[in-house]
Structures are given as structure tokens and as C-alpha cells.
A and B are shown apart, each in its own frame.
Chain A
């Protein structure tokens, strides 16, 4: 088994879609898919066409670059203006708009913004350029956090003096807590992210059914995974038995990945965080612990960044899209002014962004 074709079996996909129709209640049902990769897979495989019309899927905030605040981007751009600095970042951060420009503009001006695939790559860059300050933009959720933590631990072990990490790492369950309370959304079930859950396990979601009577199902990214996840949630809704269920058992264990959780806790502490669109959410971010402050860009360079940049893009509705209040097509800029080749808001930039998915596949 290669774990791909088996989970794209057309015959089984059609069958499970029929079963979803068979158990679908008559009223409208709202389910949020928290992870941006679920949104992409959903459209990429045309699953929207297989589902009942009254099943409304709301795209959630699980696109790490989309939820980075414009103040954070502004700060990164400011760093990039210093000719003794090399900014290192994941590719899709480059075009995320700050309040006046993006890192891509900064790269065009100064040439000192580098794109990498892993936080570990920033160590090589730092070693190659001992005369420069190398700053890694640490964005992501619980699945990316341990990769940054491991890089910080290695940097400490190797005694690197010119490598710094600027953390905007965020936690998913606190964001779900904030969204489930929003009465306008009326979320009746969460399709929970696969990779985040591979790290944190199933327990951190348990407060959601207990406190709000809203069900959760962790699902993989293949078409059969997503459809089975939806089937499990609909069954919970029908039987009025909300709980945390795990469809992605081949990857997600109840306790997650203990080693990854351990290095996360060793390097980071939980802090409030500012989310684009969602505002400040208590205990939803990760900051570098004092023991590792020599690697913390925020502490070393005394950064004070505001959550909101100076100039709001008033017509851009990314905030409402990230909250799930509107669909991308309800935004006046969508596909007219704002397109993947000329994105106005972050949701159009990233592959995991909701607007990007709608533009490509809808």
C-alpha cells in the first residue's frame, strides 16, 4: 500500500457520497473544515459536487500565512531593509500583504529575503553568512512549531550567534474555541486538521463537545478521508452525540507525537496571539522561552509590533473570510481586482488560502 490510490478509489468515493446523502438531515448543517489543505483537497477532487446542497462547509482559519497579522509582516519588512540582515521565510509568506507592501517588494529592493522549505535551512544560511544577522520568520501551527523548536535547539548546540527566530506560531484549539462561540457562524461540527493532530493527538479537542456540544472529527487529506470525516460528523449530529472521533487513525494517535510535544514545551511558552481576521485570542500563540532568548528576534531587537498595520485595506474581506462569515465570492474584490497573480489579501496568496482555492477550482 502506498496510502494514496487506495484513498482515491472512485467507486468507494461515490458510495460514501451516497451514504452521506442518505443520512443528511433536512435542515441546513454547518461544518467547518479548520485546515486550509482540507479546503484545497475538497475542491481539487470536486467533492463539493458530490455533497447535498444543504451541507454548508465553512473554510476555517487553518492557513498559517493568512492569519499572520499585518503588523507582523510590517515588522519583517522593516528588518529586511537592514542590509546586514538576511530574512528567511517559507515561500508563501513572500507575497502576503503588510499594511503598505510585502516581503516580495522588500526582496526586489534589497535582495536579502530568502525562501526555504524548512526551518533547518536557516541554520545553513546562518553558517554561510557569519557576518549577517539571519532572521527566520516562524509561522505555522502545532505541526510546524516542533520543527522550529528543533532548529532552535540545534542552533544552541552549535553555538550559532547570528541566527534569530521571529515567532508568530499559533495554536489551533484556542482558535476553534473562539469560533465555536460565534453565534453568527452556528458551527455544528469541526473537521479537524491532520498534521496538527498528528502532533497534539485527539485530547486537546475534547473540551469542544464537552463545553459546546459540538462534534469534532480528525480527518486525513485524501478524498475518502474527507468524506468519511463528514459522514462521521453527520452521524454525530443526527444522533445528537457530539464527541471527538478520529478518522485519520493511520497517522494520528490519541497522544499525538510525545517527542514533538516535548521539544515544543521545552522551547516555547503559551502566550496571547493576534490573528488576522479573528483578533487577539488568549493562550493561542507560542513565544520563545527566556532560556532561549539569544535566539529570539523579538527580544534581541526589542520589536514592538502592532497587530494591525497603519493602513487598512478597507475593501478586502479576508478577515470575514477567515472567520467563515462570508464566502470568497461575496467579497467585492474577488476575481476582479484580487487574483492569485495580483493578490490584495492573504487568503488569495497561499495555496492553503480559501480565496485561492475558490479562484482555482470554483
Chain B
């Protein structure tokens, strides 16, 4: 149920959006994410977009992981 794969917003029509990953396209409800825009990545749960993926925060996580390693190997 908790498929954690982010999907990209392709089209928005009222309360619904078309989201895609690879060749898969689905229509999901976006009422819980009033600010969502085309091009955003969202986490989809049981037919609803429940959260937007924050690109800066994703970069930060990867940077932190890299830093942990560098700190220890120094």
C-alpha cells in the first residue's frame, strides 16, 4: 500500500491530476495538496497525492549521506 515511488504531475484538472512514472499514467486526487504544480513530484497513496517531494530537501539528504562518509574516512 505504501508504494513510495514519486510520480510527476503532468496535467491538472480541478481536484484531479494526471501523474506519470515511466510509461505509467494515473489520475489521482490532489485535494490534499492545494499548492501542487505541473512538473512537481508527488507521493501517491491509495489514489490521492498526499505530499509533494521537496527537491532541495532531497539534495540535502544525499549531501548529508555523502558527508557522513567523508567525515568518517578522514
Contact = CB atoms under 8 A, between A and B. Distances in A.
A22 interface: yes
B71 to A, nearest CB: 9
B29 A120 contact: yes
A199 B41 CA distance: 17
B4 A222 contact: yes
B10 to A, nearest CB: 14
Interface of B is mostly: mixed
Nearest to A12: B65
Contacts of A198: 43, 45, 50-51
A1 B60 CA distance: 13
A195 B31 contact: no
B60 A251 contact: no
Contacts of B72: 19, 22
B43 A195 contact: yes
Nearest to A263: B32
A352 interface: yes
A12 B58 contact: no
Interface string B19-45: 000000000010111100000010101
B72 to A, nearest CB: 5
B68 A143 contact: no
Given A19-B69, A146-B32, A35 B47 contact: no
Category for how many chain B residues contact A: 35 or more
A156 B15 CA distance: 17
A263 B31 CA distance: 10
A6 interface: yes
A143 B2 contact: yes
A346 interface: no
A250 B31 contact: no
A250 B54 contact: yes
Interface string B45-57: 1111011011101
A107 B34 CA distance: 39
B50 A257 contact: yes
A144 B57 contact: no
Contact of A251 (B53, B66, B68): B53
B33 A259 contact: yes
A199 B46 CA distance: 13
Given A193-B2, A224-B65, A3 B58 contact: yes
Contact of A150 (B29, B60, B66): B29
B4 A195 contact: yes
A49 to B, nearest CB: 20
Q: In this complex, which of A3, A12, A221, A257 has the most chain B Cβ atoms within 10 angstroms of its Cβ?
A: A3
B67 to A, nearest CB: 11
Interface string A236-263: 0000000000010111110001011001
Contact of B6 (A2, A64, A121, A352): A2
Nearest to B29: A120
Given A3-B53, A7-B62, A118-B29, 14 more contacts: A1-B55, A3-B41, A12-B62, A16-B65, A36-B2, A37-B1, A37-B2, A37-B3, A90-B46, A150-B32, A198-B45, A221-B4, A251-B51, A259-B34
The 5 closest A-B pairs by CB, nearest first: A118-B47, A221-B4, A250-B58, A37-B2, A250-B57
Interface of B: 1-6, 8, 29, 31-34, 41, 43, 45-48, 50-51, 53-55, 57-62, 64-66, 68-69, 72
